[in-house]
Amino acid sequence: MTDIAVITEATAAAYVAAAGFRVGTVGKVGVELEYAVRDPAAPADRPSIARLLAATAHLPDPLPGGGTVTIEPGGQIELSSAAGADLQACVDAAAGDLSLLRAALADDGLLLDGTGLDVERPPRLITDHPRYVALAAYHDRSGGKGREVMCNSASVQVCLDAGDDSDGWGGYRQRWWLADAIGPVMLAAFANSPRTRGGTRWVS
C-alpha cells in the first residue's frame, strides 16, 4: 500500500492563502463551466468514465482558447477557461472552446445539459479516483446530500483576481468584503436549477 502524506490544517491554510489570494493588479477573468452529460438514446443512464474519456481524447490540451477539460465525480464535464485579459476575452475564448467540446461529445451521441441539478438520475460515482472516493465517504456520514452535490450538480464559477495590497476598491481586502456582502444577491442572480427532487422551484 502506498503511503499517503497527511497535511496539517495549518499547512492547508497557508497553501490556500498563498494560492487563492495572490496580490496583484486586477482585471483578468476566468470561468469554469460545468455540465451534466446525457445520451438522448438512454437518458436514464450515466455515461461511463471510459466513454467520456474516449469522447474527449482527441481534443487538444489545452484547447485553442486555452481551456482545459476535466471530468467530475458523477460524469459532469467541466471546461476551465484560460484567464482572459478582460471579461470579453474570457467569454470569446470559452465560447470557442465550448463549441469544440460540444462537437466532440456529439460525435459520440452525447450532449451537454445545462440544468443546474440533475433530478432524473440517482447520484453515482463514475470514478474510482481516491480523492473523490474519500470525499464521497466523508459526505455519506451525514446523509445523501453531499453525494448528490458531487454527482448531480453543475455550476458556473467565475474566477477573478484577488486584488492588490491597497486599501481601495482594487485591494483584496475591499474586494473580499464586497464579494462576501453581495453573496446572497449573486446566489439569487445565478441560481438556475428549475427543478429539485419532489417539486419545482423559481428560476431567477
Q: Which three cell numbers stand for residue 136?
A: 464521497
Residues β-bridged to residue 158: 31
pLDDT of the residue at 16:
85
Q: Would you say residue 136 has pLDDT above 80?
A: yes
Q: Which three cell numbers stand for residue 19?
A: 494560492
Entry pTM = 0.84
pLDDT in tens, 44-75: 999 999 999 999 999 999 999 999 999 999 99
If pLDDT is split at 50, 70 and 90, which confidence band does 196 have? low
Nearest to 150, CA basis, from 9, 34, 31? 34
pLDDT of the residue at 18:
82
pLDDT in tens, 6-48: 788 899 888 888 887 788 899 999 999 999 999 999 999 999 9
pLDDT of the residue at 199:
56
Contact between 69 and 105 under an 8 Å Cβ cutoff? The reply is no
Q: Do β-strands 195-196 and 68-71 pair in parallel, antiparallel, or remain unpaired?
A: unpaired
pLDDT of the residue at 200:
57
Residue 123 to residues 8, 47, 79, 147, 194: CA-CA distances in angstroms? Answer: 31, 13, 21, 6, 18
pLDDT in tens, 144-184: 899 999 999 999 899 999 999 999 999 999 999 999 999 98
Q: Which three cell numbers stand for residue 8?
A: 496539517
If pLDDT is split at 50, 70 and 90, which confidence band does 204 have? very low
pLDDT of the residue at 117:
86
Q: Where are the beta strands (DSSP E) in 39-153?
A: 68-71, 77-80, 111-113
Residues β-bridged to residue 69: 79
